[in-house]
Amino acid sequence: METHREHRAGALRQGLTVEAISIVWMVIEAAVAIGVGLSARSGAALAFGVDSLIELGSAGVLVWRLRAEFWDRSDDDVEKTERTAGRIVGAALFFLAAYVVAQSIATIVLRIEPEPSLIGIGLAVVALIGMPLLARAKRAVAQSIDSPALCGDAACSVTCAYMAAALLGGLVLNAVLGWWWADPLAALGIVYFLTREGREAWTGHDCCDDDCRV
């Protein structure tokens, strides 16, 4: 029993460390992406920045959830915190999906043509490499402590990787071929994933299975 308790405590410490890294990165990512989105009129970049803000909030919620167990709160308190954290993460994913749909449609209807952005391309490349690593670390901790909320937060990081790929594709196609419409279409491509993972986080469904891996 003591060995199991020590293992769980180690997993909780690892989770807190991963969330701290996530918070620092999301602050940087949000600032850069929103700046690129506004200056280059890139809907995908702006959606990417908003996603970063949502992930920042999600990471803060998970710090709250992990600390609740780390400081030996009762099982009932931990379970209640887990459910609340999962619903907050799920609501954040639903909000992001709605935002992406509205913003992308507006971009297409108003024909808002984004400008090429090397900074945006660089940010997308870094996120495309780093986010899957962060998601795997979160998922490993989620499996160790059986936390659907943390697995939902890992899904946020997976979403960030997909959005980075969409952002990169949209910016590159616009810069090389002038396909301005590739930017909003790329952002729309991840809405199904957002709503699915939002539902799983909200209901507390175990999303730490093969269909959530990157």
Looking at residue 75, what is its pLDDT? Answer: 66
- Each residue of 54-109: pLDDT tens digit? 788 878 888 887 887 777 666 677 677 777 877 887 887 788 788 778 877 877 88
For residues 93 and 159, the answer to whether their CB atoms sit within 8 Å is yes
Give pLDDT, residue 210.
45
Q: How much is the average pLDDT of 137-149?
A: 84
Q: What pLDDT is attached to residue 211?
A: 43
Residues 1-32 have pLDDT tens digits of 457 677 777 888 888 899 999 999 999 999 99
- The two tokens of residue 134 are 């962060």
Locate 110 and state its tokens.
Answer: 């108003």
- Name the least confident of 79-88, 122-131, 198-207: 198-207
Handedness of CA 190, 195, 198, 200 (dihedral sign): negative
The whole-number average pLDDT for the span 128-156 is 86
**In the prediction, which pLDDT does 32 show?**
93
Higher-confidence residue of 137 and 112: namely 137
- Mean pLDDT (the chain) is 79
Other beta carbons less than 10 A from residue 73's beta carbon: 14
Q: Above 70 in pLDDT, residue 169? A: yes
CA 143 to each of CA 76, 147, 200: distance values in angstroms, whole numbers, following the listed order: 20, 7, 15
Tokens representing 59 are 């990471």
Structural domains of the chain ordered from first start: 2-212 (1.20.1510.10)
Residue 159 in this model has a pLDDT that exceeds 90:
no
- Would the pLDDT of 212 be above 70? no
Contact 11, 145 (CB under 8 A): yes
Q: What is the pLDDT of residue 214?
A: 47
Binning pLDDT at 50, 70 and 90, where does residue 129 land? very high
pTM (predicted TM-score): 0.72
Continuous segment of H or E residues that includes residue 135: helix 118-145
Q: How much is the average pLDDT of 47-52?
A: 80
